[in-house]
Structure 1
Amino acid sequence: MLVSSVRSVVTPVAIVRLVLGWGAVVGLMFAGPALAPPVAAPLLVGALALIIGVILVCAFGVVHEAEHLARRLGDPYGSLVLTLSIVLIEVILISAVMLGPGEHSTIARDSVMAVSMIILNAVVGLCLLVGGLRHGGMSHNRTGTSTYLALIVVLSTLAFAVPAFIGRDGSYTPGQTVPIIVAVPVLYAFFLFRQMGVQADDFREVDPRLAVGTADSTDIADPDSPGNGSGRPNIEQVLVEHRAEVVLRIALLVVTVLPIVLLSHDMATLLDDGLGRLGAPVALAGVLIALIVFLPETITSVRAALQGEIQRVSNLCHGALVSTVGLTIPSVLAIGALTGQTVVLAESPANLLILAVTLLLSVATFAAPKVTAVHGAAHLVVFFVYSLALFA
């Protein structure tokens, strides 16, 4: 049983991806001095092309494992595995930058804001556009989507707006920091407890044809098998019957994601050098890094949209943002409190306006019984405006 699971999961293609990803990481460690700024233009372009190519190879590996897990576990569990694996590593990366040399008081704000705009406008907009063009209006589970958006509104407000009004110089005061460090993780933990428990059905597709597509047909075929009453095997049954495969795929997903984040970190230095020569804003580097880090989730989301699985798109995109803000904000505030660093979270008036428009548009979009390609186009225009604001 274990041997067959290993053979089915750890394929030659998966091994090649791991060798390429980790080989590139090791290679860049040794090539560090040669890539220290300023780098000759041909070497800079070549190194960036190589890094992005390896990242894309690893990203498709992550997508492959995530899709297998999603089919095996069903939503919301399958989507949650991919979301948490990427978001946790993103949080570690931001924390590592904060603990490193130099002044990084706005790194969390800039990173989370970029992620928010990319997920809520670029990725969601693209998914709604391609899905709507292919399938027309797509029905989603409004209870689950509303839950995501409720948390996104609250967490985004706590992260970017509240410090500007009750904090000091864009930061929470020491007396305000501790309650935020406690309240945000408690809210996020309560959400996960409900999502994986009694409210799990709120995050599944409303179309029965799509819902059954997320589980094994052999599991659904037996009406007498123990489950949750909706024709799906419950998560405990799946884990008992397929424990080895699930553990192996999760492990392989994580070790394939790690090179993406590590290479993205190395790529930041090269991007800063290149963008500096072009006179581009420094914030653009953060946007590009966020795009690369969330590339696996983006690919998976677009594929789900092309299949008409719009609730899975919401699970991946909105779930990723809830996890990002819910884990990043308390982590960086705790690091700031322990190390004495200032953590600036308050956004500029222009970005706060764009964020408010984004949240209002998101609520309006997913309040409708069906989402369409026009909704997607509206989100993409807002992302275009955010891109313009970067150069203002």
Structure 2
Amino acid sequence: MSTVIRAVTARWTLWVPLLAIIALIATWGRALHPAVAGLVALFLAGAILAAVHHAEVVAHRVGEPFGSLVLAVAVTVIEVALIVTLMADGGAKSATLARDTVFAAVMITCNGIIGLALLTGTLRHRTVSFHAEGTGGALATVATLATLSLVLPTFTTTTPGPAFSPAQLTFAAVASLILYGLFVTMQTVRHRDYFLPVSPDGTPLEEQEHANPPSSKAALISLGLLLVSLIAVVGDAKAVSPTIEAGVSAAGLPQAVVGVIIALLVLLPETLAAVRAARRDRMQTSLNLALGSAMASIGLTIPAIAVASIWLRGPLVLGLDATHTVLLALTVVVGSLTVVPGRATLLQSGVHLALFAGFVFLAISP
């Protein structure tokens, strides 16, 4: 009996995602009893842990920075599909959904994930090192994409309100795709060495010092299970969102809190992967995950929304209000000061986490 239990436990990364998918299918489109919602949340947590495991297997096989790119793009593609689905079902009340989701993703990745990774790394290693060139380029791309897509709509005059005209939305979508494609080319081909982990003295660290990489077959199986796990994460998060909405309403909180909670759930795989990398003194990998996710969230979501707006009815509000614009500007400034030296201490982690806490607090009390 104990042998059977150990065998089942050893294969949890296989059966937990499958159970999470079954829970998703069984509960899709249904109102959930709180007890059932709690069970789905448990499967959601298991799928998150499984996603991190399979992402690390794939990353070990392909090496950095491709491993970080796999997880960031996979999460974002499924997140984009979720946004488009919710906008199609939500009508006029979902006018700000894309903006709120993308902005929450930017704040969570650039402050929450980076701050937590820096905290983990500096508590364990005192000082962490990374490539200022690669990380600075990533931050500059995130800042440009966020400004073009989320700030400019507030100040354009062709269309009333914080929204783009069709021509402006097309320009933002094309520019987002070009910038994201250019960055991925720099990250994986032309300047790949800028995104590899470095030692405290700045020497690049290669993956050879770790255990032998998994076989191609094992990596492909993990890639498939990673996609299954991420579908389960996003789908189960959507399934429990009505329960979360009811709880938020009962507590008298703004509905924007629901978007923050869902974004936190969806980004948990990347958060856990970034923290694990920081514990191994691979801060560059953590930064690749965080900034890559922020970049993919904007660079893939805005073009998808631009295409979906052809058949979606109702307004599409993209422009941030004054409070969120200030938070975004401060995030870019603080991120730049963190990146420039190529080294960070506990102080930088505290600053980023304070900004993240401010974002969450203002979502609760705007």
**What TM-score do you get using the length of structure 1 for normalisation?**
0.85
- Superposed, 1:133-212 pairs within 5 Å as 133-167=123-157, 168=159, 169-207=161-199, 211-212=205-206
**Structure 1 residues 48 and 377: CA distance shift in structure 2, 3 A:** farther
| In 2: Cα distance, 1:58 partner to 1:170 partner | 37
| In 1: Cα distance, 2:203 partner to 2:39 partner | 41
Amino acid at match of 1:60: L
- Superposed, 1:288-327 pairs within 5 Å as 288-327=261-300
Deviations 1:24-73 (A, max 9, x none): 1133138x24x3xxxxxxx42x3343222111111111111111122221
| In 1: Cα distance, 2:83 partner to 2:209 partner | 35
| In 2: Cα distance, 1:101 partner to 1:157 partner | 26
| In 1: Cα distance, 2:314 partner to 2:258 partner | 23
Kindly indicate whether the alpha-carbon contact (under 8 Å) linking 2:47 and 2:230 is maintained by their aligned counterparts in 1. Answer: yes
Q: Which residue of 1 aligns with 2:5?
A: none
3-state SS in 1 of match to 2:190: coil
* C-alpha deviation, 1:215, in angstroms: 6.8
Q: Which residue of 2 aligns with 1:16?
A: 15
| In 1: Cα distance, 2:44 partner to 2:242 partner | 16
Kindly indicate whether the alpha-carbon contact (under 8 Å) linking 1:174 and 1:337 is maintained by their aligned counterparts in 2. Answer: no
Kindly indicate whether the alpha-carbon contact (under 8 Å) linking 1:62 and 1:257 is maintained by their aligned counterparts in 2. Answer: yes
Kindly indicate whether the alpha-carbon contact (under 8 Å) linking 1:205 and 1:310 is maintained by their aligned counterparts in 2. Answer: yes
* C-alpha deviation, 1:312, in angstroms: 0.3
**Structure 1 residues 144 and 209: CA distance shift in structure 2, 3 A:** closer
Which of 75, 78, 85 is the matching residue for 2:74? 85
Q: Which residue of 1 aligns with 2:3?
A: none
- Superposed, 1:1-392 pairs within 5 Å as 12-29=11-28, 32-33=30-31, 35=32, 43-44=33-34, 46-103=35-92, 104-167=94-157, 168=159, 169-207=161-199, 211-213=205-207, 242-390=215-363, 391-392=365-366
**Structure 1 residues 385 and 218: CA distance shift in structure 2, 3 A:** closer
Aligned residues: 353
**RMSD over aligned Cα atoms:** 2.2
Kindly indicate whether the alpha-carbon contact (under 8 Å) linking 1:71 and 1:215 is maintained by their aligned counterparts in 2. Answer: no
Bigger Rg, structure 1 or 2: 1
- Worse-superposed segment, 176-185 or 303-312: 176-185
| In 1: Cα distance, 2:208 partner to 2:321 partner | 42
3-state SS in 2 of match to 1:128: helix
Query: Which residues of structure 1 form unaligned runs of 5+?
Result: 1-10, 36-42, 220-237
* C-alpha deviation, 1:172, in angstroms: 0.7
Amino acid at match of 2:27: L
* C-alpha deviation, 1:322, in angstroms: 0.5
| In 2: Cα distance, 1:247 partner to 1:373 partner | 38
Query: Which residues of structure 2 form unaligned runs of 5+?
Result: 1-9
**Structure 1 residues 27 and 184: CA distance shift in structure 2, 3 A:** same
Identity %: 29
**Structure 1 residues 174 and 376: CA distance shift in structure 2, 3 A:** same
* C-alpha deviation, 1:286, in angstroms: 0.5
- Large movers: runs of 4+ above 3 Å: 213-219, 337-341
Kindly indicate whether the alpha-carbon contact (under 8 Å) linking 2:13 and 2:53 is maintained by their aligned counterparts in 1. Answer: no
Kindly indicate whether the alpha-carbon contact (under 8 Å) linking 2:61 and 2:216 is maintained by their aligned counterparts in 1. Answer: no
**What TM-score do you get using the length of structure 2 for normalisation?**
0.91
Amino acid at match of 2:207: G
Amino acid at match of 1:15: L
**Structure 1 residues 142 and 267: CA distance shift in structure 2, 3 A:** same
Deviations 1:134-161 (A, max 9, x none): 1011110111101110101100101211
Q: Which residue of 2 aligns with 1:225?
A: none
| In 2: Cα distance, 1:133 partner to 1:216 partner | 23
* C-alpha deviation, 1:165, in angstroms: 0.9
* C-alpha deviation, 1:216, in angstroms: 5.9
Amino acid at match of 2:262: I
* C-alpha deviation, 1:217, in angstroms: 5.4
**Structure 1 residues 352 and 59: CA distance shift in structure 2, 3 A:** same
- Worse-superposed segment, 335-344 or 129-138: 335-344
